[in-house]
Amino acid sequence: MRRLAAIAVTVALAAAACSSGGSHRDLHIGKLPAPTSTAPLAPTIVLPPPDLGRPPIPEPANAGGILPATGVPFGAPIPFTSSVPVPSGLVFVLTVGTDARAGDDPRRAHGDAIHLLCVNPQSRQGTLLGFPRDSWVQIPGHGNGKLTNAMALGGPTLMAETIRRLTGLPVQYYVVTGFQGFTDIVNELGGVDVNVERRMNDGYSGARFQPGWHHFDGGAALAYSRDRHDVAAGDFTRSGNQGNLVLAALGKMRHEVGNDNGLRRWIGVLLRHAALDSGPGPLLQLAALARRIDPRSITNVVVPGRVGTAAGGQSVVYLGPDAQRVFVDLRPDAVVGTPGPPVTDTPSTTTSTSTTTTLAPTERTTTPVPTSSSTTVPRV
């Protein structure tokens, strides 16, 4: 999972974009064409063969010191006034962090951090849905394969079509970035405050953090979002941590942005690092919507699945009926589980991020997977 379009997503909840920016930018934002059919798609999952499992990944040796938790929670939201209208219908934004290094085109790299941000502007609630990169799915025109490969095979459009087919949800916008774009945006915005829930000591990603609040610069944020070797459930936990980073950035935005000038400043940072792949769109409107969303009203969910083996012995994640129920649950209101009361603009004195709900994998964690006909996730 490499970068995470964390700050970019909070800047615009999604992005619709403007003018062509060239292939050398490390962050790309665009509006997707509408599906060819107006009928709702049914979720499409690839059923696994008999469970073959896979051996656990060994923990790497300690390659350095563990950074103490010396940060503080992001501040409470400041009052916000805006004349910018916000979208009225449900918003679905695909965010993909790729393994593109400097000079690579992230639109043709592997998608390693894949999330669908689902927002209901009326209730100001929503869901951040993370997908394990090795999910075994139908890739239109390419048969079955790992979800991570869809970006390399056909760019953001094919990745979006793959997610549409998998979930039955109408993906409207995308945000795609590589390592450099992600770290540059985090640094230019002054870092982000994240609560590390468990001790990290991963020599592969460079994530070495004691539990507690940390103020991350771009490099530390990237390391945190890449750690999958010393966490409880591998890529499932990593995907949840990436969601935590997005929601922490949203909390930072609410603490710093109080008017339309503040929105334009955040958008300006985004545009300095972004190639916008479609014509002028509702970028400012989406940013205004993002500013109105309390991160505690967004449920951070990782799609349920189990680790197995596909053709050729490759390790994959199979998504089953529990994942399908989550996709169906999101369709009417963009909220997984039972929606809470609508969120108001009243400033809050608390500064906690939302709770991460990890629904999988069943064979690597004791977290129960829903088995009823509807998925109920407690709201925070």
DSSP 286-331: HHHHHHT--GGGEEEEE---EEEE-GGG-EEEE--HHHHHHHHHHT
Taking residue 39's Cβ as centre, other Cβ atoms within 10 Å add up to 6
Question: Number of H helices and number of E strands within the chain?
Answer: 8, 16
Place of tokens 């169906």: 328
What is 6-358's CATH topology?
A: Aminopeptidase (3.40.630)
Tell me the average pLDDT across 246-270.
94
Tell me the average pLDDT across 26-47.
67
Pair of tokens at residue 141: 């025109």
CA 33/CA 73 separation, integer angstroms = 39
pLDDT of 138 above 90: yes
Tell me the average pLDDT across 140-155.
94
> Is residue 184 classed as helix, strand or coil in its secondary structure?
helix
* pLDDT for res 165: 96
Order of strands across the sheet that contains 91-98: 274-276, 27-31, 173-177, 91-98, 111-120, 125-131, 298-302, 356-358
pLDDT tens, position by position, 178-237? 878 889 999 999 999 999 999 999 999 999 999 999 999 999 999 999 998 888 888 899
Taking a C-beta distance cutoff of 8 angstroms, is the pair 217, 186 a contact? Answer: yes
Q: Per-residue confidence at 249, pLDDT binned at 50, 70, 90?
A: very high
Name the residue with higher pLDDT: 20 or 296. Answer: 296
Mean pLDDT of the residues in the chain: 79
Angle at 313 between CA 152 and CA 138, to 5 degrees: 45
Q: Which of 6-20, 26-40, 271-285 has the highest mean pLDDT?
A: 271-285
Tell me the average pLDDT across 141-160.
94
Identify the CA nearest to 352 among candidates 300, 290, 295: 295
pLDDT tens, position by position, 259-300? 999 999 998 888 888 777 765 567 888 899 999 999 999 999
pLDDT of 369 above 70: no
Taking residue 64's Cβ as centre, other Cβ atoms within 10 Å add up to 9
Tell me the average pLDDT across 232-245.
91
Terminal Cα-to-Cα distance of the chain (whole angstroms): 27
198 secondary structure, DSSP code: S
Helix 179-188, helix 260-273: angle, nearest 10: 150
* pLDDT for res 367: 30
Please give the share of the chain, as a percent, with pLDDT higher than 70. Answer: 74
* pLDDT for res 148: 93
pLDDT of 308 above 60: yes
* pLDDT for res 12: 41
